[in-house]
Amino acid sequence: MEVAGFEKRDYAEKLIADAVSSGRFPHAVLIEGGSPERRTDIARRISASLLCGGETVPCGSCPACKKALGGYHPDVLFHTPEVISKKPVYSVDQIREIRDDTYIIPMEAEIKITVLSESQYMNRAAQNAFLKVLEEPPEFAVFILLAQTKSVFLPTILSRVTVYTLSGDAEREEDGVTAQEAESAAQDIARALLSDSAFELVKAAGVFDKNAPLLEAALPEMAGIFMNALKVRYSGGEGGELEKKLSSALSRRALLALIESVDTLTGEIKMNANLNLTVTRLCTLFKSAAD
Ligand SMILES: [Zn+2]
């Protein structure tokens, strides 16, 4: 099946288009990043693509496409948070209603698509209520969660959805991470390893709290620093001041253990592990590697 209408230069959109064309689109996805408008637009395009009967989807002209793109397909349910005390929130009651809705068989199509816009407004209780339907969804159900960031979700939710991270527009740039920030965070971690006090490491790792993109960007930088320190130690290679200090303070074995820890943590981040736990694990792993 051909898929059109996705911005293939954006890696996330390319992955989404690939998933649609494979005919095995995941039953639950979370689309994070980008602007709210862009997330909504992508959810509409996915819905139309999944419902369209054309050879190239979404064809844009069949009844299913028109309804899905126009926002009035009876089997595409768009939900937005309620406003309680002037704040947007998905209440547990609202989630329960949505849950009950998703079990009702589709009216026209073979699938029923439930979209939760701004799903970052689900608190813990609401997420737990939603988890029930994610765990035992009806066969025809497709869930599309749209959120500013995945970092607010329980690991139990994240383990059941495929996450697509949009990039490359204004909102993303605002909370984006520069190479300098990543480098300096990685250097602070490396410097903390030179200290006798475990607290220095915890302090340096504090910068990653609620900032998964920074951690994700800083991990390869850390690996680079440890690798260079290893080279200095191993072959007397040229290294910066920090790398030279590390190479004399830490054994070859410790440096290898640190590089391995970076691999472990990178894997966890990619698996959408709970950020707080990953930051704590970073401190534990690094401390035991350097000791
Ligand atoms: Zn169509």
**pLDDT(52) > 90:** yes
Q: How far is the CA of 2 from the centre of ligand 1 (A)?
A: 12
Q: What is the DSSP letter of 207?
A: G
290 neighbors 256 (Cβ within 8 angstroms): no
72 and 24 in one domain?
Answer: yes
Sign, Cα dihedral of 102, 104, 107, 111: positive
Q: How far is the CA of 260 from the centre of ligand 1 (A)?
A: 48
pLDDT of residue 171: 39
Residues facing 113 on adjacent strands: 76, 142
Structure tokens at 157: 């939710």
Q: How far is the CA of 66 from the centre of ligand 1 (A)?
A: 7
pLDDT of residue 176: 66
163 and 280 in one domain?
Answer: no
pLDDT of residue 173: 42
State whether residue 146 is helix, strand or coil: strand
Single out the residue in 117, 140, 174 at which a domain terminates.
174
pLDDT of residue 175: 53
100 and 84 in one domain?
Answer: yes
Q: What is the mean pLDDT of residues 234-260?
A: 87
Q: How far is the CA of 98 from the centre of ligand 1 (A)?
A: 26
Q: How far is the CA of 141 from the centre of ligand 1 (A)?
A: 20
Q: How far is the CA of 47 from the centre of ligand 1 (A)?
A: 10
Q: What is the DSSP letter of 105?
A: P
Question: Residue 239 — very low, low, confident or very high, per pLDDT cuts 50/70/90?
Answer: confident
CATH number, domain at 204?
1.20.272.10
Q: How far is the CA of 56 from the centre of ligand 1 (A)?
A: 8
Q: How far is the CA of 50 from the centre of ligand 1 (A)?
A: 9
**Domain total in the chain:** 2
The predicted-structure confidence for 81-139, as pLDDT tens digits, reads as follows 999 888 899 999 999 999 999 999 999 999 999 999 999 999 999 999 999 999 999 99
Residue 37 CB burial class (10 angstroms; 0-12, 13-18, ≥19): exposed
pLDDT of residue 273: 76
The predicted-structure confidence for 123-167, as pLDDT tens digits, reads as follows 999 999 999 999 999 999 999 999 999 999 999 999 999 999 987
The predicted-structure confidence for 160-214, as pLDDT tens digits, reads as follows 999 999 875 433 344 567 777 888 999 999 999 999 888 899 999 999 988 888 9
183 and 141 in one domain?
Answer: no
Measured between alpha carbons, how far is 4 from 123 in angstroms, rounded to an integer?
35
Q: How far is the CA of 146 from the centre of ligand 1 (A)?
A: 23
CATH number, domain at 83?
3.40.50.300
Measured between alpha carbons, how far is 140 from 111 in angstroms, rounded to an integer?
4
Q: How far is the CA of 68 from the centre of ligand 1 (A)?
A: 9
167 and 105 in one domain?
Answer: yes
Measured between alpha carbons, how far is 4 from 58 in angstroms, rounded to an integer?
7
Q: How far is the CA of 53 from the centre of ligand 1 (A)?
A: 6
Q: What is the mean pLDDT of residues 3-26?
A: 87
Single out the residue in 133, 158, 174 at which a domain terminates.
174
203 neighbors 48 (Cβ within 8 angstroms): no
Q: How far is the CA of 210 from the centre of ligand 1 (A)?
A: 40
185 and 167 in one domain?
Answer: no
Residues facing 29 on adjacent strands: 144, 162
What lies within 8 Å, CB to CB, of 132 at 6+ separation is: 99
Q: What is the mean pLDDT of the chain?
A: 90
109 and 139 in one domain?
Answer: yes
For residue 151, which amino acid is it? S
